């Protein structure tokens, strides 16, 4: 019966260990998959920058170039949403495992923090590239309007872009070969900006969500650091107290031995005195 109980306990413990190992493996896979997705987004951002430059350098960009950029932006959005969901899932698991050791919690929190910050860094570069492309496209529109004899201020140009109607400025342009080319570029650049702004708006909420997550991590990591430091302090204090206790225990043992020896000597002397007294009688 005793052996059966031991075997049953071992089986339960092994099952629990297997579950913990499986959970850790899944967490590691999740971390690695997230890291690879962030790296892939970074590569896509660099490719998008190149396509932005190609589109800006050509008066009338090739349709294929714009299609490639559109596909790239869709892929970035897809992967970015995937990364955000995984980061939030990791955060939930960390919050659920607060009962685990501080050291383990700190490691997992640090991994999550590194991935989150890297993700924000990559998405910030993407956002900067988009804003730069918008400003340069707007500059091209302004120059083409000047070619046709239309001078506009930045405020007026922004009004046109926000309205989504380039006809505000293009209506009345003199019909000439130069003006037709300028008009075609103006309309093309305007469409590029409208498409770009749609992408920026779609990513805005996600970007703010993750940026706030990273901002909050600073305080959370500080709290974990404080808990770890307190744990270390408690361990050190316990270690010192143990040393003192062992020292006192050793001293007490020595005193006890001395007392026993003295008592034995006294008993021996007393026995000797009694023996001599009996002999004399």
The string of DSSP letters for the chain reads -HHHHHHHHHHHHHHHHHHHHHHHHHHHHHHHHHHHHHHHHHHHHHHHHHHHHHHHHSSS--HHHHHHHHHHHHHHHHHHHHHHHHHHHHHHHHHHTTTS-HHHHHHHHHHHHHHHHHHHHHHHHHHHHHHHHHHHHHHHHHHHHHHTT----HHHHHHHHHHT-THHHHTT---SHHHHHHHHHHHHHHHHHHHHHHHHHHHHHHHHHHHHHHHHHHHHHHHHHHHHHHHHHHHHHHHHHHHHHHHHHHHHHHHHHHHHHHHHHHHHHHHHHHHHHHHH-
- Among 182, 216, 250, residue at a domain's last position: 216
Say whether both 248 and 281 belong to one domain. yes
Say whether both 66 and 193 belong to one domain. yes
- Does residue 166 lie in a domain region? yes
- Does residue 226 lie in a domain region? no
Say whether both 159 and 252 belong to one domain. no
- Does residue 93 lie in a domain region? yes
Residues 6+ away with beta carbon under 8 Å from 102? 224, 227, 228, 231
- Rounded distance between C-alpha atoms, residue 34 and residue 114, angstroms: 11
Say whether both 127 and 266 belong to one domain. no
CATH, residue 25: 1.20.58.70
Predicted confidence at residue 75, as pLDDT, reads 95
Question: How many domains in the chain?
Answer: 2
- Rounded distance between C-alpha atoms, residue 33 and residue 84, angstroms: 12
> What is this structure's pTM?
0.64
Say whether both 207 and 248 belong to one domain. no
Say whether both 156 and 92 belong to one domain. yes
- Does residue 197 lie in a domain region? yes
Q: What's the start-to-end Cα distance of the chain, in Å?
A: 70
Say whether both 146 and 78 belong to one domain. yes
Say whether both 63 and 161 belong to one domain. yes
- Does residue 228 lie in a domain region? no
Say whether both 134 and 60 belong to one domain. yes
Residue 183: domain span: 11-216
- Does residue 229 lie in a domain region? no
Say whether both 260 and 203 belong to one domain. no
- Does residue 233 lie in a domain region? no
- Does residue 223 lie in a domain region? no
> pLDDT in tens for each of the 281 residues of the chain?
555 555 455 455 545 444 444 556 677 788 899 999 999 999 999 999 999 999 988 878 888 998 999 999 999 999 999 999 999 888 887 777 665 556 677 777 888 889 988 998 998 899 899 989 888 888 888 887 787 777 778 887 787 777 776 666 666 555 555 566 777 777 788 778 877 877 777 777 777 777 776 766 555 444 444 444 444 444 455 455 545 555 555 565 666 566 666 666 666 666 666 655 555 55
- Rounded distance between C-alpha atoms, residue 146 and residue 130, angstroms: 24
Say whether both 92 and 135 belong to one domain. yes
Say whether both 208 and 154 belong to one domain. yes
- Rounded distance between C-alpha atoms, residue 106 and residue 227, angstroms: 10
């Amino acid at each position: 019966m005793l052996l059966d109980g031991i075997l049953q306990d071992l089986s339960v413990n092994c099952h629990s260990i297997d579950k913990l190992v499986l959970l850790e493996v899944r967490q590691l896979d999740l971390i690695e998959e997230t890291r690879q997705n962030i790296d892939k987004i970074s590569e896509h951002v660099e490719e998008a920058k190149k396509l932005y430059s190609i589109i800006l350098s050509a008066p009338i960009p090739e349709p294929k170039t714009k299609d490639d950029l559109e596909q790239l932006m869709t892929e970035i959005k897809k992967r970015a949403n995937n990364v955000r969901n995984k980061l939030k899932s990791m955060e939930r698991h960390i919050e659920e495992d607060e009962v685990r050791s501080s050291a383990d919690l700190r490691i997992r929190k640090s991994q999550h923090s590194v991935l989150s910050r890297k993700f924000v860094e990559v998405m910030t570069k993407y956002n900067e590239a988009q804003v730069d492309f918008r400003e340069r496209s707007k500059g091209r529109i302004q120059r083409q309007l000047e070619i046709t004899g239309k001078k506009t201020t930045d405020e007026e140009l922004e009004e046109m872009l926000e309205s989504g109607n380039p006809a505000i400025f293009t209506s009345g342009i003199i019909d000439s070969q130069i003006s037709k080319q300028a008009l075609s570029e103006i309309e093309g650049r305007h469409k590029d900006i409208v498409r770009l702004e749609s992408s920026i708006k779609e990513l805005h909420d996600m970007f703010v969500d993750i940026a706030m997550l990273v901002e909050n991590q600073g305080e959370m990591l500080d709290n974990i650091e404080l808990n770890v430091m307190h744990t270390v302090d408690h361990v050190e204090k316990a270690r010192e107290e143990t040393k003192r206790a062992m020292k006192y225990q050793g001293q007490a043992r020595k005193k006890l031995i001395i007392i026993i020896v003295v008592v034995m000597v006294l008993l021996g002397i007393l026995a000797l005195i009694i023996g001599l007294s009996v002999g004399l009688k």
